[in-house]
Amino acid sequence: MSGKLYQGGSGQMPMYMTDSIPQSKYADLLAVIEELGKDIKPTYAGSRSASDRLKRGILHARALVRECLIETERSARS
């Protein structure tokens, strides 16, 4: 994780981006999903910090999915 934060409606969330190069929302979503996978096993082992990161990551992924759908609908119309 790069330490960058995403200012969402429910507070700050890690962006899970490794580059400072702007990416598409879809690429951002793929990066978030990849990072989510790293927190699943520690969450099952009882890690509270991994559980919290997983919850924030899921919220971030949900927001990105919404944005990707909007982007897809816009491009389909044009």
pLDDT at 78: 83
Written as tens digits, the pLDDT of the chain (78 aa) is 444 444 444 444 455 444 455 578 999 999 999 999 999 999 999 999 999 999 999 999 999 999 999 989 998 998
- Check: CB of residue 6 under 8 Å from CB of residue 15: yes
**Which residues make beta-bridge pairs with 11?**
8
Residue 4 lies in a domain: no
The answer to whether 32 and 55 have CB atoms below 8 angstroms apart is no
In a domain, 9, yes or no: no
Q: What is the pLDDT of residue 59?
A: 97
Say if 19 falls within a structural domain: no
**Alpha-carbon span 18 to 3, nearest angstrom:** 9
Whether 52 maps to a domain, the answer reads yes
d(CA 2, CA 14): 8
Contact, 24 vs 43, CB < 8 A? no
pTM over 0.75: no
pLDDT given at position 22: 55
Per the structure, the complete domain to which residue 39 belongs is given by 25-76
The pLDDT of residue 21 is 53
Q: How many domains does the chain have?
A: 1
